[in-house]
A and B are shown apart, each in its own frame.
Chain A
């Protein structure tokens, strides 16, 4: 659908933001959250400068905050994750290494790899959001994290099935 990475990512930014803010916000039961917008962070190109990566994820987080009345909650989690992404990618590098110019999507690296990659990021994301919100640890909170994480993972994989992004 898109030929260059700029338009693809700009489109993805607004698309994911609108799904998150206008649809997923209303779905949820008893404090279980569904998030699809971390996909934006996962699918940014690997070669992007680290500072720019952090800044773009901050923009995404603050936009979601505006929809969610989060006052910086999602922004701070996204900034922390963006900072850690090169580290996570380094730890999960496949045997042959990443190919230049590829994004880290299921279409490029296979579903098994993508499931592992998104599971790490989505679980950290969900955990941090709920931890920052409750500011305490409990079994109830961990249950919220776990259920929300499973449902969000399903959504993210579904997005890969439907759009199969390559750039």
Chain B
């Protein structure tokens, strides 16, 4: 027994190294599998969330004027959409009605308290969490509700962390608005203003300037959320698909207010699809 203790003590550095290295590499390579468990390891962690919240209170003054413009624009847009007489009835409900007048998407407003665009995998920390009804895999739209920003990947009580579209593993089901051909919008890891659109077949007619919107086939983003416009496309040989570059609609650098969107019918939809699989 003494010998084992002496052995352990003599190589304490080596054993500490083995255990801690295994622990951290395990978390690093399994980060997407257990986001509930690793929420404390991200900036949704309560202490760091509070620090970010506090520092954001000071930093947010820099953007106030552009924010004001955006809010005024949004107000104008919303007012145009509402029939004047019904304005007061609708203003107190936080939900959007679909054509059968049943609420489908729940919008929660949130403030961006930490953001990055210049890393290989970018995340956004928001000041809304489980307590406010935020769930994993919720969509994040920008302040005007008309641009894709990311997907919630970790939720704590008061904060949540979203995987930005500028993430190597972000895949957004998208379609070309004009003709309905759909593919996947992914980030190539280099330019924070560009996405690539994969899997658009060559028989589709594509034009520069076409707008690309979310397809609504995944239960994350509502249908028709603007992603960006086609910047350039090329017809490469040896494949059946175009290679298309989209310029992003949202400037992720100056993001300050966002909406977190929860699909209320998602459990029902998932259940139905599970049934077919069996």
Contact = CB atoms under 8 A, between A and B. Distances in A.
Interface string B225-248: 000000000000000000000000
Contacts, number: 99
B60 to A, nearest CB: 14
Interface string A28-45: 111111000000000000
Nearest to A61: B24
B48 A66 contact: yes
A30 B118 contact: yes
B137 interface: no
Nearest to A50: B13
B13 A72 contact: no
29 contacts: A26-B116, A30-B118, A30-B190, A31-B118, A50-B12, A50-B14, A51-B12, A58-B16, A61-B24, A65-B24, A66-B43, A70-B28, A71-B27, A71-B28, A71-B31, A71-B41, A72-B25, A72-B26, A72-B28, A72-B31, A73-B24, A75-B27, A76-B25, A79-B17, A79-B21, A80-B21, A83-B17, A86-B13, A132-B28
Nearest to B161: A69
Interface of B: 12-17, 20-21, 23-28, 31, 38, 40-43, 45, 47-48, 51, 55, 116, 118-121, 123, 125, 161, 190
B12 A69 contact: no
What range describes how many residues of A lie at the interface? Answer: 35 or more
Contacts of A65: 24, 41
A81 to B, nearest CB: 10
A31 B20 contact: no
A79 B12 contact: no
A2 interface: no
A122 interface: no
